[in-house]
Chain A
Amino acid sequence: MSDVVEKTLTALPSLLSLDSQPGSAKLSSTSKLGNLIRGITELTSKHEEEKLIQRELTSIKDQVSSPNTSMRQMKELMVRAIYCEMLGYEASFSYIHAIKLAQQGSVLDKRVGYLAVSLFLNESHELLLLLVNTVLKDLQSTNLIEVCMALTVVSQMFPKDMIPAILPLVEDKLNHPKEIIRRKAVLALYKFYLIAPNQVQHIHNKFRKALCDKDPGVMTASLHIYLQLIKENSEGYKDLTASFVTILKQVVGGKLPMDFNYHSVPAPWLQIQLLRILSLLGKNDQSTSEIMYEVLDESLRRAEMNHNITYAILYECVKCIYTIQPKSELLEKAAKCIGNFVLSPKINLKYLGLKALTYVVQQDPKLALQHQMTIIECLDHPDLIIKRETLELLFRITNGQNVTVIVEKMLDFLRISKDDYTTIDLVGKVAELAEKYAPDNEWFIETMNTVFSLGGDMMQPDIPNSFLKLLSEGFDSDEEDRKLRLFAVDSYVSLLQSEPNKLPQRFLQVISWVLGEYSHLSAELEPATVMTLLSKLLDLKHTSSETKSWVLMAMTKLCEGGVAISVAQDIYETHSSSMDTVLRQRAQELQHLSQDSELRGRVLPRDAGLMPLEVDSSLSFLDGFVSEALAAGAAPYKPPHQRQEELAQAKALSLEPYSLSLPISMSSCSIADRQSPTLMSMSSGLSGDSTDLSHKGGSTTLKLDGVKRVWGREGYLAQREPVEETAQVEVPSPLRSPSQQAEADSTQSQTPTPTVTPELEQDKQQLASSLFVGLGSQSSVCLMGKSDPTPQRFRRKAQGRASSSGASEKTPTSLGSTPSPVDNLLCNSLLDSNLVSEPTNQTPQASQSLDTTNGNCHEELTDVKENNPSLIHNNEEPDKPKDLCLSSHLPTELSGLSHSEITPLCSNQSVNLSACHVQKEDSLQLVIFIFNSSDSALQQMQLQVDSGELKLSLITDSPVEEVRSHSVAVCHYSVTVKRPSVHVEVLGMLSYQLPGGTPQTIQFSHKLPLTTFIRPLTLSTEEYGSMWLAFSQDTKQNLTLINDDQDPLTTTLNVLKKKLQLHVVEIIGVEGIVACQLVQDQPCLMHCRVHAGTLAVWLRSPVPDLPDCLLYHCQRALQEH
């Protein structure tokens, strides 16, 4: 560090002399901030403050834009601008000046400039681009402080697209002699990894170097990157486990310098980081877990001091122990630790104890039993956060026997909670529990009523959806279904009779639907009564128009009998002139259907809920319409991403840099080349192709490239759980046994509505017994006897059921062409789920099938190879001497060109078939030789060839019909690819007749590797860039790198070029871009990057399957090498 000091000291005199001149001015300007602050503190009203700040901002604005303002003054102005912004007043005019200050100021002004930039702008701000040059300059500075400042700002924010510009400089800093620079460089790379992981893929080995840095600070910094990497792919870093363990051992053993101690605990931050990494590595991995048992034990043992920091380590240790493969000894110690947390009088520790319990309770439910009294106490804790965490814990241990008590507790909490986020979360959990464990119908409906009332309109829309689905689909017993529905109807009628204006919209919608659908189940309920109740909803002020249309739909189902029809008539009159078109339509429907009960019976059949409705998800019934529209000149449909891509392509000047990862120099392209007519026509042909093909292939899903975005403009993007369980098999569930029923009932009757007062220990005991009943046992009773051992969301279950019952949407209530809101709601959720689930389900299959085909091809290839030599070299077989001279029979137009080996296809006693091919630029020429080995002529000969993947057209003028004895006929085809596949196959059949004999046929198949259709595609980097953006089909993989040379990338690419006829467009550093096309005009682009000893390739093409197939051949080509 002494260097820094020296440099700084040498810089000082000049700086000081600068200072000394405008000394007085400086004094006045600095006191300006002081004045401002003092001024504000003396103010009494917000209004006065506003006025003062506005005045201040105006004066700052005048000064910053004045050309006479020195950088020194500018710095002071910036500080004041920051202050104003902190108070919540906008000073956006100063942003550009902050950048200017960072650019032009002397070292100390710069520092404020950078600070202002980092406070004013966020990483998506466009002005940040202006900072790139400044950062570049400072990174190259000899002044260490400037380098530090540049790295500091880069680690906080940097425009993603500009990373390549500074990346090499930052990488260099990893070798800097000063540890502070190395440390900051590592953190800058960490930042780059977070915002653009692709850009730093190639420097993974440098991360390893940082991990081994002799300075503990640099090493600690590198752990941030490793934690992130291991989170994403723990498999790739198992080999580092031992190193992490060793580091942790050294840290725990106090081998680090004293500087790193915090309250005499050695480097706690480092310890926690390592523990988190270890828990990720040891998860589901016995052998890796074993490596860390010892050090975990030691960490537990060493962390004994009574201080927050040791508790932080202990907590992380416990989490780790419960995450990795269990070891009983450690689990015991960890459990004891959790106990200490839970029992601690310190509220923060208690909270963490509960959190840890929640975490481990599924593995070890007994632990919750041990602490049941503490949990009960926490349930009534005055601090809501403790209560909330306790409920979370209880949620995890809910079973059929304690569900009523736990749900009651959760609903109690919901009644007092004011936080929307918590409400939404908790409402979802209650609904889940109610659906899973409901002891009886009444309880279920009442609980759901509370859920709907409390959840209001912010709850997840799938809760009402799945509730309605549950009601309409019913369960195993019709009688049970009827009772449930009847109870719902009764309960809703009484709700509507009391205070309907207090119910949230979603609940009203549910009520309308249920009443419309099931009120006929109630014998004493007249449709007219329900109609009247519902019609009151229409008059309520706050009823939304969506709810109104639900109500009208329900009425349409109900309008039966004189009174009901007259109510319907009234409603029609009020709403037929509504400004809302949907309402108007509903009113019309109500009017018409109430007049025609026969039609109504057909349109809205009763109890249609059980009939699965066929849904034509491909919308094939629209085909006629579409083809008509197309014939009439309408543009073909393009999926949105296609349109966007084409739009991007259609821009006259595409200034977008090529993809994500090439140095920026490439993006500054001259566009003139693009105007050449040939290329234009080709690219337009391409876009057409890609629409069609991608459409046919059905893979219209948007491909997102490997950038994993955790953070978006809206902040943290919560990871959605993948919807994979959709295809679950529905297990026929056993009916609830009477004894279980009795047991559940008795539990319930034992439990008085829990109003626990802390004074009454007895009550607590009772509550405890009702909360923790049945804990640990697997028996769980749930609604209608459906047992489900793993906690599972209702909607998933519903989806599973839906998919098992075929194409499943019930649209019983829909009125033909316009779907009712009910249907919309249900339908949307279902469609969504299908959309989401389809790709996840299919991908594995697809890849599997690809694998298997690959496997086959592999074998076939070797077969062919084994056969080939026998043909070329060992043709001593007496009966096939003519094979050698088959080549002389090649058609004249091909005779000058090199052809492939002549492969035998099949033969019998009279005829031998063989084939060879010639690669021409625009097609593949396939020649089939028919050698008549018999002594008489073949007559009425007919050769038929066909292929699913290829398009073959006969070139020979007229088909040969006769072949004389011992002579050769030739059929010549021109072949192009219709649909790429790893291996394409031509199937053929030859029929012929020997004189006086019966007609005979002989069949053959001929396999061609896709490589024979691949041609180099010559284009410039700029063209490549614009094509890359336009292609939608892509695939990525790592290939082995041929590592026997100084420049492995070039060698590898040359091998590929030679073997597969690819065109290497450009090689820049560790990246290379390669292009090829499949005859004819079906391009495929390949982007290669050397990374961690492998070649990461990324292929893109407009043609489905082409990238995958090409990738396969690349793999093979490199393996064979």
Chain B
Amino acid sequence: MQFMLLFSRQGKLRLQKWYVPLSDKERKKISRDLVQTILARKPKMCSFLEWRDLKIVYKRYASLYFCCAVEDQDNELITLEIIHRYVELLDKYFGSVCELDIIFNFEKAYFILDEFLLGGEAQETSKKNVLKAIEQADLLQEVHTHIFSTTLIFLKKKYNPGPL
């Protein structure tokens, strides 16, 4: 996998992970291009895109788009399932995850991603193991999460965008 982007329906980037060395400028150009292209696509359309010499696999969950770039010979369907497994992991970790969870705890989302995918390859596909690894590191940060959750509860009530 070359990179993964999460962005909202409004085109706001929520998470970006680059597994290939690219300059800041290129990263910005790529994400701008892709966000535009994907947002312009209709819901019934194919989840795969050819983009330059890469294959883009994307999927929308509620208000959030998950988008991965893989090489042409890679298996698009399994990439789609990688996205899904990541969403499952987020869901399990946050408990019916919504976009706000990811906005306010984006570093957590990154930690989970790093336990799941490493250097662009699926590292651990067992849901249990990924979460175990995260929770161990998290034990240290318990206090933190509490503070976050209070803000979150407030915000969830205010916007209530529904679960992913």
- Name A's B-contacting residues (CB within 8 A): 1, 4-5, 8-9, 11-12, 15-16, 19, 26-27, 30-31, 33-34, 37-38, 79, 82-83, 86-88, 90, 107-108, 111-112, 115, 118-119, 122-124, 145, 148, 152, 155-157, 180, 183-184, 187, 190-191, 217, 220-221, 224, 257, 259-260, 262, 267-270, 272, 308-309, 311-312, 315-316, 347-348, 350-352, 382-383, 385-386, 388, 419, 421-422, 711, 713-716, 718
Contacts and interface: CB of A to CB of B under 8 A. Distances in A.
Contacts of B12: 87
B80 to A, nearest CB: 6
Nearest to A385: B46
B143 A16 contact: yes
A186 to B, nearest CB: 10
B164 to A, nearest CB: 18
A9 B15 CA distance: 31
Interface in B106-150: 106-107, 110-111, 114, 118-119, 121-129, 132-133, 136-137, 139-141, 143-144, 147-148
Contact of A191 (B16, B119, B122): B119
Interface string B49-82: 1111110000000000000000100011110110
Given A260-B126, A315-B75, A87 B13 contact: yes
Contacts of B125: 220, 260, 262, 267-270
Nearest to B126: A259
A11 B107 contact: no
Given A11-B140, A217-B124, A716 B53 contact: yes
Contacts of B75: 272, 312, 315-316
Contact of A88 (B13, B45, B111): B13
A156 B22 contact: no
Contacts of A385: 45-46, 48-50
Contact of B111 (A115, A312, A388, A716): A115
A351 B45 CA distance: 11
B21 A711 contact: yes
A773 B17 CA distance: 48
Given A217-B123, A386-B46, 15 more contacts: A5-B136, A16-B143, A82-B107, A86-B15, A112-B107, A124-B21, A148-B137, A269-B78, A315-B77, A347-B44, A348-B80, A385-B48, A421-B53, A422-B50, A713-B23
B126 A31 contact: no
Contacts of B50: 385, 388, 421-422
Nearest to B123: A187
A400 to B, nearest CB: 29
A187 B54 contact: no
A716 B19 contact: no
Contact of A383 (B24, B45, B141, B151): B45
B156 interface: no
Nearest to A122: B21
B118 A152 contact: yes
Contact of A718 (B53, B106, B119): B53
Given A312-B75, A312-B78, A111 B137 contact: yes
Contact of A119 (B110, B124, B143): B110
A82 B136 CA distance: 23
6 contacts: A11-B140, A12-B140, A119-B17, A190-B121, A348-B80, A718-B53
B78 A272 contact: yes
Interface residues of B, number: 67
B103 interface: yes
A350 B77 CA distance: 12
B21 A123 contact: yes
A-B pairs, top 3 by smallest CB distance, nearest first, are A312-B77, A122-B21, A259-B126
A45 to B, nearest CB: 14
Nearest to B26: A715
Contacts of B118: 152, 155-156, 184, 187
Interface string B79-121: 0110011000000000000000001101100110010001101
A33 B152 CA distance: 12
Contact of A217 (B13, B53, B129): B129
A1038 B67 CA distance: 44
Contacts of A270: 125
Contacts of A184: 118, 123
Given A269-B125, A308-B77, A34 B85 contact: no
Nearest to B76: A352
B13 A37 contact: no
Contact of A268 (B28, B78, B139, B155): B78
Interface centre among B71, B122, B128 (most CB of A within 10 A): B122
A1028 to B, nearest CB: 27
B89 to A, nearest CB: 12
A352 B74 CA distance: 12
Contacts of B124: 180, 183, 217
Given A107-B140, A145-B136, A716 B77 contact: no
Nearest to B151: A34
A348 B12 CA distance: 26
Contacts of A220: 122, 125
B53 A183 contact: no
B136 A4 contact: yes
B2 to A, nearest CB: 7
Contact of A1 (B49, B85, B136): B136
Contacts of B107: 79, 82, 112, 115
A262 B81 contact: yes
A33 B141 contact: no
Contact of B18 (A122, A191, A269, A316): A122
Contacts of B129: 180, 217, 259
Nearest to A316: B75
